[in-house]
Structure 1
């Protein structure tokens, strides 16, 4: 599946361009993962070219199986070579016919606080419900650790409602929040 998504610019934010990750993303990925805040909230470290290649291979395999549909989020620019990596959004599925899937995201340090995460999350949410409703997708779940307050704000901005606290379980050391959004969530 070769999918690209666009998020229009707003008066206060640039347009976003979302596309599947590719081999050209090695250096931007390594650069993004130099950020200690990003490393704090993610499970797969990317510290070297080898780590980046392995991470990108995981994303490629995810598209092949349909179980991990991950998009590189770029701040748009008229010249594709000038697009700057701003983050990642992903939808994780365990197979067709499932009524729910999980979404996740991270934002590069330079892009935080500018609405990139909620707008990218909104884009993948709309796309997921449009594409997978025919397979029975009715709900998307977003999970984060209770002490990740920024993720709580992103979830709320993207209309993912708090559902419950989940107890800590490996690999997560703290309790978590489960936010949910249904296909029929009003605008």
Structure 2
């Protein structure tokens, strides 16, 4: 796919590139998933190359089906771009008024504003690509304070506490971002 989004640089981090996942991202994907913090918050930890390949294929298929759009987030480095995060637009329905944003950040990229910049870039893309969207939601467990900060930094406003729902063992927060108003 030729879609590529860019997120601006900050004083503490260079610019980001968001693009669909590719087969050659497998090693970086598995490296990111070795992080115990990421494993704690994800529904489906990836531990083997076969699981990683299956995840990449499912991401590609969901993109083709039009209901889920998963982006690798890369940051430039002297030795080439490095995977720093993943952002996803999910629960997209044609003409539907809402969708959900999700993300994770690689351990080596946390604390530098990567997640808010990537979520902001994805949110702008979602509203441009799907003009019927009225709002985006970002959900996380109540005990994930880092995700609360990412939501706030990305312009998402806390809306409500959601009851725990398997596979999530704890209550959650729903933050929302309304579609930009066109004047």
Same topology, TM > 0.5: yes
Deviation per residue, 1:104-143 (Å, 9 max, x gap) = 000000000000000000000011111111xx11100000
Q: TM-score, normalised by structure 2?
A: 0.95
Whether the 8 Å contact between 1:66 and 1:93 is mirrored in structure 2 is no
Q: Across the two proteins, how many residue pairs are aligned to each other?
A: 182
Deviation per residue, 1:2-33 (Å, 9 max, x gap) = 31001122222111011000100110000000
Whether the 8 Å contact between 2:32 and 2:107 is mirrored in structure 1 is yes
The alpha carbon displacement at 1:78 in A equals 7.4
- Show structure 1 runs of 4+ deviating over 3 A: none
Deviation per residue, 1:138-183 (Å, 9 max, x gap) = 1000000000000000000001000000000111100000000001
Alignment of 1:1-150 (within 5 A): 2-77=2-77, 82-133=80-131, 136-150=132-146
Distance 1:4 1:78, change over 3 A: farther
- In structure 2, distance between residues paired with 1:18 and 1:76: 12
- In structure 2, distance between residues paired with 1:107 and 1:28: 12
**Structure 1: runs of 5+ lacking an equivalent:** none
Q: Provide the residue aligned with 2:167 in structure 1.
A: 171
Q: TM-score, normalised by structure 1?
A: 0.93
**Structure 2: runs of 5+ lacking an equivalent:** none
RMSD: 1.5
